[in-house]
A and B are shown apart, each in its own frame.
Chain A
Amino acid sequence: MWLWYSWQSAAVVNENGDFLDIEVNDGNFSVQGAKERLQLVAQGNLPPEAKLLLERFPEAKPTPHGSETLPEASYPLPTDEQQMAADTAALSIAEEGVAMSAGDPDRRLEHLLRASDELRTLHLTMEARLVEWIGLFLPRARFEGDRSGLAKSMVALSSLSELALLLDVEPAYDDPSTSEWNALHDWGCMVANQRRQLDRLEHAIRESTESHLPSVSALVGPMLAARLCVEAHGRARFARLPAGTVQVLGAEKAFFSHIRSGTPPPKHGHIFMHPWISRSPRWVRGKIARMLAAKISIAARIDAFEGTAWGDDEVDEVEAKVTAIRNEFSQPPRR
């Protein structure tokens, strides 16, 4: 015996397809009414008619419309008006779902991180051009120590000779024309502005990652945590990745070249950014990367399944392990 149900009606049916009881709802639904019922069914709950029938036939197995286990029968279909209400409701449900996707921190983090990557690339290119451009007019000026200071100091200036004075170098042999200086000055202001924007982006990334991935952030810092999470396509998937994948996330090129052509496998992907690996001697990096990836993996699972976030104690334990590996292999392996 089955309890057939759709969003608007329900029926109790036996093996032969006979209706033992039926609750047909052929009234008109408001869009809101249809929407509530569609959402009820989508969540696997029973509409009111089905609940009523289940009280009368507790042994009937609730089965949604269209299921293959149901016997053939002429189940009451929605009327045209009901179907139209359901269609409008479906559109509204879809729109709600789309709007709700803005609440997904993974999507937001991805935009933040990609934006900061794109802006950083642009910023470095533009800054390099600025340094070259100024260098053409003021060949004695050197910026090796502080490239980003140049753009900042240009903002308040109104001519190249002021800049020469500020940098304490000889004025230009041939000054730029007013329009040329304006263009150059605009360029400098833009570079200075980008620096500020970058800081803001990174601040936002840190803030959002520290609440989204507290344990991973505590372990390897929020910037690296954010990158790993985005590279893994979201926290839920990040938590499900094996530690070996976490270890080589970001080294896809080397990894697939290893699989295809047998080149040496990569030892680390994005996690190389962490000083525990990049500041360790070459011969222990792989060992530390393997251990650290396993710990990141555990931390990601704690965050995804909302366990108690890691604090300093746990991070100190991992750091002790890093030190232990470094000490145990303090000499390069003999060839």
Chain B
Amino acid sequence: MAGSRRKRPLSHSVLQEGRNLWTVNANPGVAVRGESLRKFRGVEHRRWDPNRSKLAAGLLRTRKDPSILLPEEGTTVLYLGAGHGTTISHLHDHLCGQDNESRGRLVAVDLAPRFLRDLTYLAHQRPGLVPVLGDARKYDAWGVLVPSKVNWLFQDVAQAGQVDIFLTATKRFLAKGGIGLLSLKAASERQQDGNENEVFAKAFDQLEEHVEVLEHINLTGFEDQHALFVVRMR
């Protein structure tokens, strides 16, 4: 596939073109972080940079059907550790579309006011995005914003005990058969847990006890010392 410029739709609004990903811009004319905009068949797309987004890297790296990494359009999804909103914006393109025509809800939680500053700005331009300033672990404070269990959950918190946080969150928020994605940063775990491969192997075993692990995607090259685990709720 590498090198081929054939366009392959991964969803209604996500397009793969060789080693590039594009999403239909839900906020036409505006680039969120200076990414390139291009029209395909008259529809404006934004380039989804896999070096900046672990989800994009995962979509390119997966050996299975990439579309299972994406939520169903127009559903409610939960994103823990939202960051500046790069991935969030592309996910919003896919999930909600322009003026939230698909009627999706993207609940994005982050602890840092600095990140929320960018996210709230984004939320004003993109209806359907619900930013929450809060701790991913203290969901009693914001859990009421997710009334029913979701079918798609993404976690990218760079702190020790990421797997525990993820498992608690999936138990609380992920519906049976729902897809959970855990972006694991090896460097965030304690040093005595060993090198990155040991951390990943340990995480795999720990996940396997509670959920069905569909794939372990190594993101080396896009994001070193990171792996993306794709799990399905049992």
A residues with a Cβ closer than 8 A to B are 6-7, 38, 41-44, 64-68, 77-78, 83, 86-87, 90-91, 93-95, 97-98, 100-101
Contact = CB atoms under 8 A, between A and B. Distances in A.
B133 A93 contact: yes
Contact of A98 (B116, B146, B173): B116
A29 B140 CA distance: 21
B171 A6 contact: no
Contacts, number: 69
B171 to A, nearest CB: 7
A333 B139 CA distance: 58
Interface of B: 105, 113-114, 116-117, 119-120, 123-124, 130-134, 139-148, 171-173
Given A77-B147, A83-B105, 8 more contacts: A6-B144, A7-B144, A42-B141, A90-B142, A91-B130, A94-B123, A94-B132, A95-B120
A87 B147 contact: no
A41 B144 CA distance: 8
Nearest to B129: A91
A98 B144 contact: no
A42 B120 contact: no
A97 B140 CA distance: 17
Q: Which 8 A-B pairs have the closest CB atoms?
A: A101-B113, A97-B133, A42-B141, A94-B131, A77-B147, A94-B133, A66-B143, A7-B144
B145 A86 contact: yes
Contacts of A68: 171-172
A38 B144 contact: yes
Contacts of B144: 6-7, 38, 41, 64-66, 86
A56 to B, nearest CB: 22
B131 A77 contact: no
A83 B147 CA distance: 9
A250 to B, nearest CB: 21
Nearest to B142: A42
A212 B140 CA distance: 31
Given A91-B130, A93-B133, A77 B123 contact: no
